[in-house]
Amino acid sequence: MKEVRSYSEFESTVSKGAVLVDFWAPWCGPCLMMTPVLEEFASKYNGSIDVVKVNVDEVPDVAVRYGIMSIPTLILFKNGLEVKRLIGYMPLEELEAQLGEYLQSSQEAAE
């Protein structure tokens, strides 16, 4: 997973295709629990959805821009537009269920 380190890098990263952004911080327990789930998700759906991380302490302007009030917050972007927002820890199965409609369309588009 890629770590986004600036507002401009964030904008260029989410502008193309499907990108799941993890807003997190290293002091956040649920965020740390979410990391292995996201790593498995990124591996499983490589090529259909990119997964990137934004440390809200290091890139606060992005967190403010998207109104991040709780972490972890996951936002799915398609071609730069927010299409889904999830808040809090969840196991892989729940993440897949929440994003199912986007996973299906992303996989079909890749075929």
Positions annotated as catalytic residues are 28, 31
Half-sphere exposure of 52 (CA within 13 A, CB side): 22
**CB-CB contact of 68 with 28 (8 Å):** no
- The candidate with the shortest Cα–Cα distance to 53, out of 81, 25, 80, 85, is 25
For the chain, the C-alpha Rg in angstroms (whole number) is: 13
